Structures are given as structure tokens and as C-alpha cells.
Structure 1
Amino acid sequence: MSKTKAHTLVSWIGWNDLQGILSPDQKNCSVGPVAATLDTKQFERVELLYDYPQGQVMPYLNWLREKFSFTVNAHAAPLSSPVNFGDIYLQANRHLSRLQAEECQLSILLSPGTPAMQAVWILLGKTRYPSKFFQSSREEGVQEVNVPFELAAEYVPAAKNIGSEKLNTLAEPGVPVNAAFDNIITQNPRMLELKAQAQILAERDVPVLILGETGTGKELFARAIHNASNRRDKSFVPLNCGAISPELVDSVLFGHKKGAFTGAITDKPGVFEQAHGGTLFLDEFGELQPHVQVRLLRVLQEKVFVPVGGEKEHQVNVRLITATHRNLLHEVANGNFREDLFYRIAVGTLHLPPLREREGDLSILADSLVTAICEKDLALEHKKISADAKNLILKQPWKGNVRELYSTLLRAALWCKGKDISAEDLQLAMFEIPRGKTDLMAMDVSQGVDIQEIISELVSVYIRKALEHTGQNKTRAAQLLGLKNYQTLNNWMEKYGIS
């Protein structure tokens, strides 16, 4: 048996409402638009918003509740200005969304409030929250309003309503400064174990090495470790070592003195000095050259450094967290990374799995990312991923990991014309990045590989080459590939989807 929806009137409380309370010597005074509407039309509850001081509103609410037997709810809805469309929209949308979730049958009283309030009611009542409209005046009484047009604003791509600066902000989300372990969204057993290990490391002032492919969340883990440590009240200084030119790396790490080189017009502290007492996060740590590794080893061993062009040693107390997508043990074996430095930084080690290996995480992570995107701009509010789009997400390898997934969902949300991001929206937002010719033979197996995909790519490349060489003669192509006959070649082509 279906639940009956409560017929609910929604309205702002206006000045005429507050002035309209009847008293024995005010028999001819108007009772205000809200009370007049409730007197005339049948409702089961009323939901009122107000931006007046509570002392002014409470007498009116007490009078209203005595006058009518049904539920009267009132909600403070502070505005920076009664004509600020952004504030009005946020308040009105929040309460209409709540009432829609409670399955109310909505009616909106347009009369109280400013023209900006009325415009927002019409926008929301004609697009997101289907409603009846009423207006009340002393001259015409209470009337249902027919708004004789449809609003298509909701079906315009959200990107049209977002400025360039905001788009750039959305495209580079970064990691929250106050990131905690709760920000790491997962239900995967391996990731849950890593979170637990990271929390233990956070409580111990030891160097941490975070390994993992690009986009797996290494900085998120690093910030969470810092924020859970006893250094949380000090600086967290991140640095991407791969983005520093070799001739400036010493200066960036250890600072320089005025006149140390051309352009050094003042003393400048390096990241070690900036992070004193706190945490220094060196991302892409495996990119540092051997001569820099030597200086780093001394800082870690003796806790002192000398700025470029300086003579005096500086004491430093930092907690070092490093991260890299490289296999540093391989780099050590090949002579590209100092073994003594490796063991210095790898006291606590976390190896983050790629997204494709985080079973059970793709769906909840995608939902979480869309929610985060929508919270950053009203134009994207209430976007969600459809079932067919989720199925498509689950089929993708996401070689760029969380970063690629976020970027794809952002593009889909920007150009999606409705509330639901469809599989078509998602498909249009995806990039197909071709592999380099040497990638298949140079992949780092310690980071995880898809052997079936590698086989498929190799088979596809050589079958196509053989067919091209033989002018599409399958018998000759089969011979060139060492296959028994053209039928075997057909079977391979069918198995690997080669047309």
C-alpha cells in the first residue's frame, strides 16, 4: 500500500507576515500572505524559512501554531543579503531537497520575500522539485499560479555556467590540507590493511617510503600520516622532485645564500628548512641524481645541511616521507640509486596497489569522486552516475588510476546535460592513450601487469603485420607466424578480436 504524500506549503516569512498578527484592536489588519493562504487552502504541514532575528519571528510562529492545528515548522536560513541569488538558492534548494526525500507533495507560496526569492522558487519548482505555486495579495486574495513555460536550464551542459578560473580549480583538485585516513575511500582488504599500517607508522617518527603507480594516492597517504602524527601542528611541505631542473635541485632542497649564483639576489630557504619541525614529502624521489642522493644521506644521518653558497651548517629536524613509481631495488641493482640511502628512507614502506587491483573499490570511489566534484560548484550539484555508466567504469583498466578516473568523471559531469551521467557521457569523456612500442617489454612486473592484455597486444600486432605483408593471404600469413594452417590463424583472430 503506497504512502500518502503530505500536502506541504513552503514559504519564506516576509515582513508583512510578521506585521500581520491580529490583536483585539487590529480587527481590519491583514494577517499576511502565509496565514491568508493557510486559511484559504488545505495543507497538512507548512515549512517556513526566515532570515529575521529569532526574537522577531517567535511571536509570529507561536500565533500561527495556535491558529492552525497542522504541523508548522520553521527554519533559520541566514542570508548575506535578501537579494543574494547564491545564498537564496543554497537555502531553498537544501530545504526542498529534504522535503522531496520525505516524499512531500510540494506547494510554494511566492508572495513573501524579495523578487530574488520568488525567482529562485520558480526556477527550483519548475526544474528539480515539481511544485504547485500560490500567491496571496489583499487585492486578489489567494490564487494558484500557472507558470506558463518550461525551464530547460537544467539540461544545458554544466560547463556553460562555470567560469574559467573555477574550471581550472576543478581540474586540479589536489589533496586536502587536512586529509585524514577517512579521506582514503576503500573497502578492499589490501587497502584497509595499508591504512592500518599507515596509522601505525604515523604514530612513530620514522621515515616512510610509499611505492605505487602514478595516481594511486601517494600524497593522500603522506598527508594523512602527517596529520595523524605528533607533528600535525607543524608544516607539511610537498615537493615533486621530478619537476626540478638538475641545476636547481640543491638550491630547492637546501636553500641558497645571496650571490650564490646568477639570479640569487636574496637568501632563500630550501624545503628542508621550511619543513623544520614538521614533515617533508618528496614525491618522485627516484628521479634524484646520485650527487643529490649523497647530500640527502648526510642530512638524514647527521641532521645538518649547508645552503648553496653558504659555509655554516644548519640543524634540521624533519620527518621524511618519500614516494616513487619506480622500483628502487631495481635502481639500486642497476647502480642508479644508492643502497645506503634506500635503507635510510625505507624504514616504513607502503606499496599502494593500482586501481585495477583494488577489487570492490571502483564503484564506491567513483561515487565519492562525483560527490566531491559536485560539492565544489553549484552548476554540478546533484549529478550522479547511472547504472550503465558504472558498468562501463568497472570494465576499464584505469591505467592512470584515481587521477585518470577523477579527470574522466569531471569531463563527463561538465558535459552531461541531465542529472545522470550516462555511459555515453562517460565514453565521450574517455581518452584512448596508445602504448609506446617498447612498453610491452619494459613493464615493471613489481607494479602489477595484465599478462592477458600483453599477449593480446602482441598477437594483434604480429597478425596484422603478417596479413599486411602477404596481401591478406591467410595461408601465407599463418606460415610466417608458425601456425599450422589458415584455420588456426582464424581461431587466433577470433579469440583476440582481430578483424
Structure 2
Amino acid sequence: MAEKVLFSWIGDTDLRAAISDMPLDAPISSTLANFSFDRVILLCSYPKARSAPYIDWLRRQTADAIESYQETLVSPVDFESIFHAADKHLSAFKKANADISILLSPGTPAMQAIWILLGKTKYSARFYQSSKEQGVQEVKIPFEISAEYTPPATKLTTTQLTELTNDGVSSNAAFENIITQNPVMQRLKYQAEILAKREVPVLIQGETGTGKELFARAIHNASSRADKPFVAVNCGAFPSELVDSMLFGHKKGAFTGASADRQGYFQQANGGTLFLDEFGELEPSVQVRLLRVLQEGVITPVGAVKEESVNVRIITATHRNLMQAIHDGHFREDLFYRVAVGVLSLPPLRERQGDIALLADALLMDMAKQDVALINKKISANAKNIILSQLWPGNIRELRSTLLRASLWSSEDAISADDIKLALFDRPQNNASLLDKDISQGIDIQNIISDLVRHYIPKALAHSNGSKSKAAELLGLKNYQTLTNWMDKYDVK
């Protein structure tokens, strides 16, 4: 059974109840006298000198486990600081699948508004209120809302989102096609626009489905090579025996089956841009030959005796950690530094605060261009809440395919929460591979710890916009110095 947890701010009436000679109808103590919870999480913005005696008093009034946390707010009516304080504590219990309840009565109207916003969207909470006239009761909020925290950002461009599925990026993709209101993505768009005006090689890093080709095409289309070819190549699909022919071309009769001259990708992209997707999949032998081309600007087609000059701008993309691949001896360091001049690291969709619901609407609108049945289709508030609660490991590509499946099941004007649930796939948990290793064969526990540290510290730093103090708090570490020590120990850049 899920743990029952009650959340509340501590109000002035609650504090006075502990020192009053007369019994007061204080919201928290009244609620705990009428309802039982496994844990009670109390947030307090009053000085600890006032809250500590109250907590001691309250623990004597109830058998429920009481936990209190001091929260420093800009003011008791500052929505942003109240949001961050409440969301931080609620999120910890959502991960544990707790049965969350919220007491609305204590605190300022701004605190109550944030409780309702979070409890109706991200956390599916029960609500309680306490008053002298009505006593303590569970209340129903008779409306549905969908909301996502949106950090401050520049004004959103309203140009429609283009295809983001594999092989679906529009040939005339531009930076306006990259829909976002997330500050990190806004900065990446700005950096990409600068790179478009330069002739330097570009490396785009990011998980599968984050829009690497969309960025590559936008850079090409905004560059001086826009009227020249853009050739996209999947390096993971190279047959080892044909890779030279595919990249550099061949002459007739060069090998069995070579019935005519054939241009390679470098020749096809001459004067324009060659986009090498899945760059981290290149075999070591291919890396050597590619390095020579990038250094000297010449190729030799298979079967030819003379070199040919090529003028190609290289944009590469990978979902792999190439620095780790270099460390492991799987990727050439000299090739990496040849292509990694302008580097863009695209965040996964789950880290793009403010963008998920925005992209869902834009993707559905884009699909309506191809299917007239979707022209007036909307996404309901409850469906958006389901969408916002997902991690989207497949990123934008997964979101698009999920919406497409949901639209097939939907028979109403709006895609419902049930439609989205039917369209989602059940994913196996990753804990088995981490926690169920065969100890009889021996394990390297230091490597396991190192992998976890290198995975989560960069995510925490990205989420906290580089603040080590906030990242340490997210990771449960004592302070930023502890975080720094971990980064030094495990060589986290």
C-alpha cells in the first residue's frame, strides 16, 4: 500500500496554537485529529525560533510522523520561490509513488494557489481544508487544469514545427522551426546561428530523437552554402567492405559489380555541407581515412590513380559520449578535435522545462497538415498532464509517434488521458541490470559507482543552471564542496 503523506505550510494560527492558553482551531492540528497519515511534511517560512517549539508541541498531539523544513522565500506571496519550495518536496514523494495529500488552509493565498496548481497537474493530490465553521474535510477541486513550469525566456517564434521523425526533417528547415521557450534551447539556437555564419566544423551531441538533424539543416540553410547540396549520411549504416566507395566514390571496374563511375558522399556534397549522423559508430579503420580527408581536403575514389579536391563543410552528430570512447580506445582523439570545433549539446526532452506541452500542440498541428481528420483535434488538459508526467526516453520522436497513435484511438474532439495511456508503451525497469549483476562472476563496484556519478552530476548541474549548491541539494549531498570533491574524484567535467 502506498505511503500516505500530508503536505502543508505552517501558518500563523498554527504557531499560536502551541502557546495559547485557549484551544485554537488550528488547521494542522485539527486535520491530524480527524485524519491519519503515515508522514506529515510541514514547510515553514517563519524563523526557526518560532517554528521549533510548535513542532515539538505538535508531535505531542499526534502519533503521525512529523517532518518540518525551513524554506527561505523572497516573500510569502512570491509565486516563484513558493513554487520551487513546494515542487522540491512533492517531487521526492512522487518518485516513491506516495499517496499525496495537501492541506490548503494554512499560509498565504499565493501558497494555496501553488498547492492547487501542483496538486492538480504534476502530482494528482487529494486536498483538505480546515475552518472553524466547516471543520476539517476533504475537498474536490471542480475543474481540470494543465500547466508546466516555464522558465523566463525570450519571446517564442510561432513558425510551425517541421518533421522531427527520422528522415522527416524538412529540407528548408530554419531556426524558426526549432520551437522552444526553454532558456537552454534558446541559447543553443543563438549559438547555432553564430556557427551558421562561420566555416568551422560542428559537432552536435544529444540523445536519439532530440533534433540533431534539424539543427544541422538549419545551420546549413542559414550559411553561405545554403544554395549548395546538403547531404545527410548515417554512419552506422556503412557496410565495412563498401565504406570507401560510399564516402569517396569509385571508378568503373574498380571491383566486381562496379559497372559505372559513382560519386561518393564527399563529391555529392562538394561546395555544400556533409552531415555525418551517428558519427560515433565509425569503425577505427574508417576514422583514419576520414581524418586524412578532413586534414588535406582531397579524396581518392576507389580504382582511381589521381586525387580529387573537395570543398565540404562537415557537421557531425552523435548520441555517444565521444570523450568516453576516446578514453576507452574506441575513437581517435585527433579526429574528435578535428570535428569538435563548434559543439552543441542538445538536452533531452525531459530536461526542456516549458517545452513539452508546447511541442505536443505543435506536433499535433503539424500532423493535421497531412491528415484532415486531425485539423480541429486538441489535447485535453488531463491528457497533457499524462504527457508532462512521462520521461520521454525517445525524446521528440517518441512524443510525435505517441500523439499519432493516440489520435488513432481518439473519437472525440480532444485527445483524452485514456487515449494517451493506450498509446504509451510499458518500459522495463533498468534496475535489474544495475542491481542484479552476477556477483559470483565478480563485479567492479567502483565502475558502477563511477557510472552513476558521471550520469547524474551533469544532469543536476544542467537542471540547476550550473549552480553547484542547488545541484548538491538535488543529489542529496551536504554542500557544494562535497559535490566538487565527487567531481574531482570521478573526473566529471
Counterpart residue number, 1:185: 179
Give 1:451 deviation, angstroms. Answer: 9.3
TM-score computed with the length of structure 2 as normaliser: 0.55
**Aligned residue among 373, 396, 407 for 2:401:** 407
Separation in 2, partners of 1:316, 1:413: 47
Contact 1:257–1:310 (CA<8 Å) still a contact in 2?
A: yes
Question: Residue 433 of structure 2 is aligned with which of 438, 442, 445?
Answer: 438
State the secondary structure of the residue aligned to 1:239: strand
| Aligned residue number for residue 422 of structure 1 | 416
Q: Which amino acid is 1:265 matched to?
A: S
Cα distance in 1 for partners of 2:186, 2:339 equals 23
1:262-277 paired onto structure 2 within 5 Å: 262-277=256-271
How far apart, CA to CA, are the structure 2 residues paired with 1:451 and 1:350?
16
Of structures 1 and 2, the larger Rg is shown by 1
Provide the C-alpha distance between the structure 2 equivalents of 1:346 and 1:403, rounded to a whole number of angstroms. 25
Supply the distance in 1 between the matched residues of 2:313 and 2:454 (Cα, whole angstroms): 27
Q: How does 1:82-97 map to 2 (within 5 A)?
A: none
Q: Which runs of 4+ in 1 moved over 3 A?
A: 169-173, 435-452
Q: Does 1:307 align with 2:296?
A: no
Q: Which residue of 1 aligns with 2:243?
A: 249
1:435 deviates by 4.8
1:67-216 map, 5 Å: 174-216=168-210
Query: What's the CA shift string for 1:73-120, capped at 9, x where partnerless?
Result: xxxxxxxxxxxxxxxxxxxxxxxxxxxxxxxxxxxxxxxxxxxxxxxx
Change (3 A) 1:181 1:444: farther
- CA displacement, residues 361-409 of structure 1 (integer Å, 9 cap, x when unaligned): 1010110000001111212221111100000000000000001001100
Query: CA 1:298/1:451 → structure 2, altered by over 3 Å: closer, same or farther?
Result: closer
The answer on whether the counterparts of 1:255 and 1:271 sit within 8 Å (CA) in structure 2 is: yes
Q: In 2 relative to 1, CA 340–173 (structure 1 residues): closer, same or farther, beyond 3 Å?
A: closer
Distance 1:241 1:372, change over 3 A: same
Kindly indicate whether the alpha-carbon contact (under 8 Å) linking 1:327 and 1:444 is maintained by their aligned counterparts in 2. no
- Distance (Å, rounded) in 2 between the aligned partners of 1:450 and 1:407: 29
Cα pair 2:165 2:209 within 8 Å, conserved? no
- Mapped contact 1:171–1:410 kept (Cα < 8 A): no
2:329 is equivalent to residue 335 of structure 1? yes
CA-based RMSD of the aligned residues comes to: 2.3
The sequence identity of aligned pairs, in percent, is: 64
- 1:398 equivalent in structure 2: 392
In structure 2, the CA distance between the partners of 1:171 and 1:217, relative to structure 1 (3 Å rule), is: closer
Query: What secondary structure is seen at the aligned counterpart in 1 of 2:200?
Result: coil
What residue ranges of structure 1 are gaps of 5+ in the alignment? 1-168, 453-499
Aligned in 2, Cα 1:209/1:431: closer, same or farther, shift over 3 Å? same
Distance 1:446 1:213, change over 3 A: farther
Q: 1:433 to 1:258 in 2, by over 3 A?
A: farther
TM-score (norm 1): 0.54
Distance 1:309 1:444 in 2: 49
Task: For 1:356 and 1:246, locate their aligned partners in 2 and report how far apart those are by CA, in whole Å.
Answer: 36
The separation in 2 between residues aligned to 1:431 and 1:443, in whole angstroms, is: 27
* CA displacement at 1:267 relative to structure 2: 1.1
Is the aligned partner of 1:218 residue 2:206?
Answer: no
Number of the residue aligned with 1:379:
373
Q: Equivalents in 2 of 1:278, 1:170: separation in Å? A: 22
Distance 1:204 1:170, change over 3 A: closer
Deviation at 1:244, TM superposition (A): 1.9
Where does residue 231 of structure 1 map in the other structure? 225
- Correspondence for 1:137: none
- Matching residue's letter, 2:394: G
SS at match of 1:349: strand
Amino acid at match of 2:194: I
Listed as ranges, the gaps of 5+ residues in structure 2 are 1-162, 436-447, 461-493
Whether the aligned pair in 2 keeps the contact of 1:216 and 1:403 (CA below 8 Å) is yes
Alpha-carbon deviation of 1:211? 0.4
